Amino acid sequence: MEIPEALLNRLAKANHVAVLTGAGVSAESGIKTFRDPDGLWAQFNPAELASVDGFMSNPEIVWSWYQHRVEVVNNAKPNPGHYAIAEMQKLFPKLTLITQNVDRLHHRAGSDKVIELHGNIVENHCFDCKEPFHGETNLPDKQLPVCPRCGGRIRPSVVWFGEMLPVGALEAAEEAAYTCDVFFSVGTSAEVYPAANLPVVAKRAGAYVVEVNPNITVLSSYVDAKLPAPSGEALPILLEEFRKYQKFYDDLL
């Protein structure tokens, strides 16, 4: 895979790099994406499993679906794409990592200060009083735990369709998009707003925008560079080429 020289040049000069990730970055860890032909939304109905109405109509089914996803995530490991992004945090003066993923694999790969736009499935809180829940979640038959404070039903701390994103997270992500020099959109279909707007904000503000995705998305014709490969392959190659590029120019000085 060819890495465009313009991208290496922009990265060499960059003070602030922003990375937005989606489900594709975890695909090589064995976690299903949403909108690919074998993705979760081809098999399950998001209105039933990822919305407030869905939870109110059938909380047990929603809870047990998320408990199954927690098991999948707990059995998965970060892949070279997650590790390359964690490595990027050391290579640039400032790196902002924004993820739509709820699987915490970036944390497990060593990234810190991850902006989680859609929350995470590892934590839970009360649907009624919103109090965080730290009690036992692994109940027999995937039963739904009850809030010890108010008796309400416990839900995963993810953002469902129709819910607001965490305000601080969205503000921090937008700020990064406005101010970064290079913006990466990695493993996302760029179809879910407001996350999908971040690459557009970045490009309008003058950043060099790169897409890492083996498939074509709505963003593909808009970006400055496209690395058309799985992120677990493309990002390690990019970092290797970037180190060579930097060494070449350092040796000239």
Q: Nearer to ligand OAD by C-beta: 158 or 182? A: 158
Give the interface size with ligand OAD as a residue count (CB under 6 A).
Answer: 27
Query: Which residue in the shown chain puts its C-beta closest to ligand OAD?
Result: 24
Q: Is 166 in the site for ligand OAD (CB under 6 A)?
A: no
Catalytic, out of 106, 107, 118, 125 = 118
Q: Is 199 in the site for ligand OAD (CB under 6 A)?
A: no
Q: Is 118 a catalytic residue?
A: yes
Show the binding pattern over residues 211-250: x = contacts ligand OAD (CB under 6 A), - = does not: -xxxx-x------------xx-------------------
- 3-state SS of the chain is CCCCHHHHHHHHHCCEEEEEECHHHHHHHCCCCCCCCCCHHHHCCHHHHCEHHHHHHCHHHHHHHHHHHHHHHHHCCCCHHHHHHHHHHHHCCEEEEEECCCCCHHHHCCCCCCEECCEEEEEEEECCCCCEECCCCCCHHHCCCECCCCCCEEEEEECCECCCCCHHHHHHHHHHHHHCCEEEEECCCCCCCCHHHHHHHHHHCCCEEEEECCCCCCCCCCCCEEECCCHHHHHHHHHHHHHHHHHHHHHHC
Residue from 7, 8, 19, 33 in contact with ligand OAD (CB under 6 A): 33
Q: Nearer to ligand OAD by C-beta: 23 or 154? A: 23
Least distance between ligand OAD and beta carbon 218 (Å): 9
Interacting residue ranges for ligand OAD, rule: CB under 6 A: 22-24, 27-28, 33-36, 39, 46, 50, 100, 118, 159, 187-189, 191-192, 212-215, 217, 230-231
